[in-house]
Amino acid sequence: MKTIAAIVTAAALFFGAATESQASFSLGSLFGLTRTQVIATVSVSQQQMFLEVKEGGQTKTALIWKVSTGRKGLDTPQGSFNPTWLDVNHKSDEYEDAPMPYAVFFSGGYAVHATEFTKRLGTPASHGCVRLSLENAQTFFNLVKTYGMTNTKIVVTE
């Protein structure tokens, strides 16, 4: 098994894993072993994100952040999603190039991303995206990037 691990780690590094830890994590994914999971549960009614990082089924990190979800008539999609793509410096195609820094897209054009309107956090204020403070969005983005989109769940509930 150690020989297989070394081969997979070397291949992962060769094909683009940035670090050995990401490469060895890819090994776990290859064999269906999830070492680390990132779970972001967004409560629309509470305007909060509950962020959990689990390793081996044990919660290692748990955070609660204020968010802004979609305002009336511009709902945030509900359900369980894996991120579909990441963009560190995205500009909205639909809303006049509005900045969406540290965007983690999860359903079409909907994303978890930073906002400059931090005074609105805790109230529905977006066009349907989940807005976070810059620091929190950067933390979430980096967790998704580190542990992978397939090991990340974004769950949006009422």
Q: What is the mean pLDDT of each run of 10 residues along the chain (158 residues)?
A: 45 45 47 78 98 94 97 97 97 86 96 97 97 98 97 98
DSSP string for 64-97: EEE-B-B-TTSPPPPEEE---EEEEEEE-TTTTT
Chain segment 49-83, per-residue pLDDT in tens: 999 999 988 999 999 999 999 999 999 999 999 99
Closest to 93 in 3D by CA, of 78, 81, 103: 103
The pTM (predicted TM-score) of the whole model is: 0.78
Q: What is the mean pLDDT of the chain?
A: 85
Q: What is the pLDDT at residue 18?
A: 46
